[in-house]
Structure 1
Amino acid sequence: MTVTAITAERTPARRLPSLAWALGACHLVARGGSFVQPMLVLYLTQEHRMTPAAAGAVVAAVGIGDFGSQLLGGWLGNRIGRRRTMLLGFLGTAIALAALGSAGAAPGIWAAAAGYGVAAGLFRPAGSAAVADLPPEQRVRAYSLLYWAANLGYAVAATVSGVLASRGYGLLFWLNAVAMLAAALIVVAAVPETRSTAQRSSRRLLPALSADRLMITMTLIHVGCFTLLMQAFATLPLLMTGRQFSSATYGAVLALNGFAIIVLQPLAVAALANRDRGTVLATAMLLVGLGGGLAAMAQSISGYAIAVLLLSLGQIGLAVQFGATFAALAPPDLRSGYLGVASSAWSLGAVLGPMIGTALLEESGRMELGAVAFAAGVLLFVAQQAVAGRLRARQADQSTEKGTQR
Structure 2
Amino acid sequence: MTTSITLRPARFSLPRLGLPKLVWALAATQFVGRAGGVVRSFLVLYLTQAQHLSPATAGTVVAALGVGDIGSQLLGGWLGDRIGRRNTMLVGFVGAAVALALLGSADSVPEIWAAAVAVGLTVELHRPAGSAAVADLPAQQRIRAFGLLYWAANLGFSVATVAAGVLAQYGYGLLFWINVVASLVAALIVWRQVPETRPAGSVRMRQKLLPVVLRDRRMIAMMAVHVGYFTLFLQTFTTLPLLMTADGLGPATYGAVLALNGIAVVALQPVAVRLLSGRSGSVVSAVSMLLVGAGAALGALSHGTAAFAGSVLIWTLGQIGIAVRFGDTFADLAPAELRGGYMGLASTTWSVGAVLGPLTGTALLDLAGPAVLGSACAIGGIALFFARKALS
Task: Please give the TM-score of this superposition, normalised by the length of structure 2.
Answer: 0.95
CA distance in 2 between counterparts of 1:380 and 1:30 reads 32
Deviation track 1:22-53 (CA, whole Å, cap 9, x = no partner) reads: 00000000000001011111101101111212
Query: Of 242, 253, 268, which residue of structure 2 is paired with 1:238?
Result: 242
Of 111, 115, 131, which residue of structure 2 is paired with 1:108?
A: 111
Residues 1:15 and 2:51 are matched in the alignment: no
Preserved contact between residue 277 and residue 324 of structure 2 (Cα < 8 Å): yes
Aligned-partner residue type, residue 104 of structure 1: D
Query: Letter of the aligned partner of 2:48 in structure 1?
Result: T
Letter of the structure 2 residue corresponding to residue 168 of structure 1: G
Q: Are 1:276 and 2:280 an aligned pair?
A: yes
- What do residues 307-331 of structure 1 show as CA deviations (whole Å, max 9, x unaligned)? 1001111110011000011000000
Is 2:348 the counterpart of 1:339? no
Q: Which of these residues, 90, 98, 101, is aligned with residue 101 of structure 2?
A: 98
Q: Distance in 1 between matches of 2:79 and 2:257?
A: 39
- Equivalent residue for 1:264? 268
2:9 alignment counterpart: none
What is the CA distance between 1:177 and its match in structure 2?
0.2
Residues 116-136 of structure 1 deviation map (CA, whole Å, 9 limit, x = unaligned): 011011111000000000000
Name the residue aligned to 1:310: 314
2:282–2:389: 8 Å Cα contact kept in structure 1? yes
Equivalence for 2:218: 214
Residue type of the alignment partner of 1:77: G
Q: Aligned partners of 2:355, 2:111: CA distance in 1, in Å?
A: 22
Which is higher, the Rg of structure 1 or of structure 2?
A: 2
- Secondary structure, counterpart of 1:299 in structure 2: coil
How many Å apart are 1:196 and its aligned residue?
2.3
- In structure 1, give the amino acid aligned to 2:194: V
Task: Report how far residue 13 of structure 1 moved.
Answer: 10
Quote the Cα distance in structure 2 between the aligned partners of 1:276 and 1:312: 20
The residue aligned with 2:227 is: 223
Paired residues, number: 377
User: Match for residue 138 of structure 1?
Assistant: 141
8 Å CA contact 1:32, 1:156 repeated in 2? yes
How far apart, in 2, do the equivalents of 1:242 and 1:13 lie?
Answer: 47
Aligned to 1:199: 202
TM-aligned CA distance change 1:13 to 1:188, over 3 Å: closer
How far off is 1:233 after superposition? Answer: 1.6
**Residue identity in the other structure for 2:372:** E
- SS at structure 2 position matched to 1:72: helix
What is the aligned counterpart of 1:64 among 67, 84, 88? 67
> CA separation in 2, counterparts of 1:372 and 1:86?
39
Q: Is the 8 A contact 1:282 1:380 kept in 2?
A: yes
Q: Which amino acid aligns with 1:223?
A: V
Could you say which residue in structure 2 is the equivalent of 1:375?
379
1:13, 1:138 within 8 Å by CA — same for their partners in 2?
Answer: no
Q: Pick from 364, 384, 390: which aligns with 1:386?
A: 390
Pairs within 5 Å for 1:40-189:
40-189=43-192
| 3-state secondary structure, aligned to 1:166 | helix
Structure 1 moving runs of 4+ over 4 Å: none
C-alpha displacement of 1:164: 1.0
The Cα shift of 1:198 comes to 3.5
Could you tell me how far 1:62 is from its partner in structure 2?
1.2
Percent of residue pairs identical = 58
Task: Please list the CA deviations of residues 214-245 of structure 1 after superposition, one character each: whole Å capped at 9, or x if unmatched.
Answer: 00000000000001000012110000001110
